[in-house]
Amino acid sequence: MPAGSAAKTSDPPRTWDWALVTGASSGIGRAIVERLAVEGVNVVLVARRAEKLAEVAATIQKQHKVQTEIIVADLAERSQRDAVEARLGAEHNAIDLLVNSAGGGLVGTLITHSVEQRNYETELNCVSVLRLCHAAAAAMTRRGRGTILNVASGLGYYPCPGAATYCASKAFVLNLSATLRYELGGTGVGVTVVSPGPTDTDAAALAGLDLTWIPRFLLTPTARVAEVAVTAAKRGRAVEQVNALNAALTLAHHVPARFSQPVLGRIFRRATRRVD
């Protein structure tokens, strides 16, 4: 299959024995874990909160009889990423699906928060994705099979006042995924990136965003994001939008920044309860 193209309809869907999912304790990451468990995939769960990981692991073990492992790690901390990278390279119960779902950010102008806080965002959203992709791709190409599924964002298509670091980091994920997919063409290793739009999770509140003014029908449930993401990865698709509305909105990145940025700026000011 040519690099960068969607799988042909005659191509068999990809299957996996073991997946490693970051951000597995809540939100999209947890929903992807649950979706994979339904399909009988064993899962290594990675996140910062040990008690939440244990809860998710116990639930899917009981309901779907899959095997689980837990790695407690803050992926923004370099020393804590080591165990995750090592697990991706292990041959026993080899990982054949990596899901990079962990991510986050803080809203406000770039200098609203300290450079240390902005560096944390970059380590989590960019550096950890880069390092885990590198570890997974190296191991998977040795075996001749595997899949990398990266979770980006619809905001990765825009230069957004009020979320500069987050949007830039998700653009990094989009471009890294596309390039890695091309470079791994013919190796048996696939790369898919999914770009959710507004999603019904607690991540926005943690970032300082108020989404209560957005109509509920515009917020995609995490289970739907997980279904779309896993299906796209199984079919070997390159880039997947969660729904038609999100796909249409991403087309607006063709609008010159001098027009789009004032609009985005107003949206983020409203979402952070700031007054023009």
What's residue 3's pLDDT?
41
* Structural domain includes residue 213: yes
Strands 68-72 and 146-151: unpaired
* DSSP bridge partners of 148: 98, 191
Query: Is residue 7, in this structure, part of any structural domain at all?
Result: no
Cβ(71)–Cβ(44) below 8 Å = yes
pLDDT digits over 26-77, tens only? 999 999 999 999 999 999 999 999 999 999 999 999 999 999 999 999 999 9
Q: For residue 172, what are the CA distances in angstroms to 6, 99, 102, 158, 178?
A: 21, 16, 14, 12, 10
Number of domains in the chain: 1
Residue 240's DSSP bridge partners are 194
In-domain check, residue 115: yes
Query: What's phi and psi for 183, nearest 5 deg?
Result: -65, -30
The answer to whether the beta carbons of residues 57 and 45 sit under 8 Å apart is yes
Q: Could you give the CA distance from residue 25 to residue 47 in angstroms, rounded to a whole number?
A: 6
In a domain, 198, yes or no: yes
What's the CA gap between 56 and 31, in Å, rounded?
10
Residues labelled as active-site residues:
166
Confirm whether 9 is domain-assigned: no
**Per the domain annotation, does 215 fall within a domain?**
yes
Residues ≥6 apart with Cβ < 8 Å to 249: 154, 197
Domain that holds residue 102: 18-271
Residue that the structure tokens 């960019």 belong to: 126
The CATH number given to whatever domain includes residue 46 is 3.40.50.720
- Of 82, 134, 101, give the one whose Cα is nearest residue 22: 101
Pairwise CA distance, residues 175 & 183, whole Å: 12
SS3 of the chain: helix, strand, coil, percent, to 5: 50, 15, 35
For residue 170, the one-letter residue type is K
pLDDT category at 158 given cuts 50, 70, 90 is confident
Answer whether 187's CB lies under 8 Å from 144's CB.
yes
Instruction: Look up residue 43 and give its two tokens.
Output: 């899962």
Check if the beta carbon of residue 56 is closer than 8 Å to that of residue 30: yes
Residue 270 has pLDDT above 90, yes or no: no
- Across the range 108-127, mean pLDDT stands at 94
Confidence of residue 262 (pLDDT cuts 50, 70, 90): low
> Would 95 be classed as within a structural domain?
yes
- Any domain includes 204: yes
Instruction: Name the residue with higher pLDDT: 219 or 163.
Output: 163
In the DSSP assignment, the letter for residue 162 is T
Share of the chain above pLDDT 90, in %: 64
